[in-house]
Amino acid sequence: MKEFLHHPKERKAHMPKNPGKGIIERYFKRKSDYLCIFLEEFLASIKLPTPVVRETGLLFVLLTEGTLAIKVGYNDYDLIEGDLLIIQPMKPFSIEAESTECKGVVFYIQSDGMIGTMDNHSLIFNLDFLETWSKSKYSIERDMRIYYENIFNRILHEYATGANNLNIVNAYTITLLLELNMISRDEYATNNAAINLSYRFKKLVYDNLATQLSIAEYAERLSVSPNHLNKSIKAATGESASQLLSKIKIIEAKYLLFMAELTVNEIALRLGFEDPSYFSRFFKKHESVTPIEFRKMIDLS
């Protein structure tokens, strides 16, 4: 991205304080309602791999060079040049690894902050693609990249120079969101019924994390047969409905074990497991360690 401001020449690593907050929120001093910095500057401030965390705001990562491995929700992404990642508010994620030439931009906006200062644009956070269950990775076509880069470049300029004209930042943010919403709507309209059903299933799972529902019960709520649900989820994701459900529960469990001051029994209840011992067996089956052992590993890292 040639038009970008000069990249930092030296990367002095420093660990953010206050582990009770998300990765961005520890870095974020809340001097304004947003943050926009070079990706390499941000990566220099954290230790990889990171634990599973969440942010209360909306996080964008635009990769312009190199590769970046990141887990978002139950998906493992290997970002390459031209990829744009959106991490929706409260969606669990962890940054796994970066290549040496990794470059790009990190843009974070508080969901209770800027959007809304221009008329009534707070409604923009009701866009479907900003829901927790929605997809996170967008591969921008080469001929369209310059337009997205210009948006990030302008926001980066406002933040880097300290001008912080929120009307300008708002305008470019809204443009970015509307562009992505158009892509998302086009994909949703053209994708087959299996992918659309998988979106509905994921939304239902996220809405009922504290309830232990069977696949048959999910199918009933979606007005399809269990067999049709399984076939559709398999076609859309390569995994069965039960495998996808387990992945989502495991990611949520990891987040709660790291971030929440809850006992394992309390976490089990939050995830719909009435029997804590069954939850421990479920967790060990997928992670090869018990929840208690996993929490100890976090404390030692």
CATH number at residue 184: 2.60.120.280
CA within 13 Å, CB half, 100: 0
pLDDT at 189: 63
Q: Do 171 and 237 have their domain in common?
A: no
**pLDDT band, very low/low/confident/very high, at 56 (cuts 50, 70, 90):** confident
Token couple for 151 = 């948006």
Average pLDDT over residues 188-210: 84
Closest to 1 measured CA to CA, from 44, 43, 62, 85: 62
Whether the link from the prior residue into 8 is cis, omega within 30° of 0, is no
- CATH number where 261 lies: 1.10.10.60
> Does residue 8 belong to any structural domain of this protein?
no
Q: Is 2 exposed, middle or buried (0-12, 13-18, 19+ CB in 10 A)?
A: exposed
> Does residue 172 belong to any structural domain of this protein?
yes
Task: Examine the pLDDT at 164 and tell me if it is beyond 70.
Answer: yes
Average pLDDT over residues 82-102: 91
Give the torsion through C-alpha atoms of 54, 56, 57, 60, to 10 deg.
Answer: 0
Q: Do 112 and 29 have their domain in common?
A: yes
**β-bridge pairing 75-79 and 68-72:** antiparallel
Domain extent at residue 278: 193-300
Q: Do 241 and 185 have their domain in common?
A: no
pLDDT at 208: 93
Q: Do 82 and 183 have their domain in common?
A: yes
Average pLDDT over residues 47-60: 88
Q: Do 181 and 78 have their domain in common?
A: yes
Tally of CB atoms within 10 A around 178: 11
Average pLDDT over residues 249-276: 90
By mean pLDDT, which of 2-11, 55-64, 179-188 is the weakest? Answer: 2-11
Average pLDDT over residues 240-255: 92
Higher pLDDT, 300 or 86: 86
> Does residue 11 belong to any structural domain of this protein?
no
